[in-house]
Amino acid sequence: MEEAYLLNVEGVKKKILHGGRGQLPQLQDGSRITFHFQTLKDDFERTVIDDSREAGIPMEIIVGKMFKLEIWETLLSSMRIGEVAEFWCDAIHTGMYALVSRSMRRIAEGRDPLEGQKHRCGMGNMFDYHSTGYDDLDELQRTPQPLIFIMELFRVEEPSAYKRDTWAMSKEEKLAAVPVLHSEGNRLVLRKEFGQAAAKYQEAVICLRNLQAKEKPWEEDWLKLEKLVTPLVLNYCQCQLELGEYYEVLEHTTELLQKHNDNAKAYFKRAKAHAAVWNEREAREDFLQAAHLDPSLAAAVKKELKQLGERMRKKHVEDRKRYQGLFQSTR
């Protein structure tokens, strides 16, 4: 089809690749748009930067929720359900793409999209990052350039037609959702469904981190949210211990202790993770620190240290036998 300029939008060109059906959807604040997208460089090879189909799930955005790449709402508002269209967008519209892509990639990897983000607006954060963690996105951040978006629109849902994810909620809705998620996680723990429980705790933590990102670190409102985060992180770590994800526990408890070095439970859980991966010295230090900070843990620490000693002795015996066997086989 012939290329057509979108009316009243400078620096955008649209080409319809497959026609849609019905009328243009009427978007309003809170409408959820579901679509697949592919992002390409405007070069000879049309180099692919991102492809939502590779992640296996379509993209979703909520209208009016300050999605960093504002032009996407404009592009999607020009499409009918089922339509596939290619949009060329000038660099004036694509300067934030590196940050958007970074967040989407982190989500696909199961990581917190706000990890490491400073307390500043989106544009401020863009200049704060020395690196996005992805070479191709670093290039886009250094040299903003025109991009091509190929989009396929699946559906548009009114705000009342779906259960909103916590990230799309208002501050009040997020605060109300946290104790519900906490309670659901506790219920799942009692049923020994640790993977699902961990997901509930993680969702609540991310919800609170989103709210914290809008507050000044270590001031009153930030600290109030941090008090809610801490027990959720500890519960999440307990689930990961049950699941055998010991290095996950080491990562999160260490991060927690960097902020709160008097948290006995964090030391105790980190000690158990160290013990599980044979870090004897680190485990002993953390167990003893936990008992020092909270004497009520003394009995549990004594039991854990005894078990650790027995496991290490058994491991040393097995290692000696293994080494002797190797030495004898080489004679």
Domains and CATH numbers, the chain: 12-157 (3.10.50.40), 171-329 (1.25.40.10)
**Segment 104-113 mean pLDDT:** 68
Q: What six digits make up the tokens of 303? A: 């039991």
Q: What six digits make up the tokens of 89? A: 């967008």
C-alpha atoms less than 13 angstroms from C-alpha of 219 in its C-beta half-sphere: 8
Looking at per-residue confidence, does 177 or 301 come out higher? 301
Residue 326 — very low, low, confident or very high, per pLDDT cuts 50/70/90? low
pLDDT for 133: 81
What CA–CA distance (Å, rounded) separates 51 from 255? 32
Q: Exposed/middle/buried for 175, CB within 10 Å: 0-12, 13-18, 19+? A: middle
Q: Which residues contact 158 (CB under 8 A, 6 or more apart)?
A: 28, 30, 31
Q: Cβ–Cβ contacts within 10 Å for residue 208, how many?
A: 25
Digit-coded pLDDT (tens) for 28-72: 887 889 999 999 999 999 999 999 888 778 888 888 765 678 899
Q: What six digits make up the tokens of 95? A: 């300067």
Looking at per-residue confidence, does 59 or 296 come out higher? 296
What are φ and ψ of residue 48, in 5° steps?
-80, 125
Measured torsion, CA atoms of residues 318, 321, 325, 327, in degrees rounded to the nearest 10:
110
Residue 121 — very low, low, confident or very high, per pLDDT cuts 50/70/90? very low
Q: Provide, rounded to the nearest whole percent, the portion of the chain with pLDDT above 70.
A: 84
What CA–CA distance (Å, rounded) separates 54 from 9? 30
- Range in 17-26, 85-94, 129-138, 201-210 with the lowest mean pLDDT: 129-138
CB contact at 8 A, 283 and 289? no
Distance, CA of 288 to chain centre? 33
Sign of the C-alpha dihedral, residues 219, 133, 233, 253? negative
What are φ and ψ of residue 154, in 5° steps?
-95, -50
Q: What is the pTM of this model?
A: 0.54
Sign of the C-alpha dihedral, residues 291, 297, 301, 302? positive
Look up residue 219 and give its DSSP letter.
S
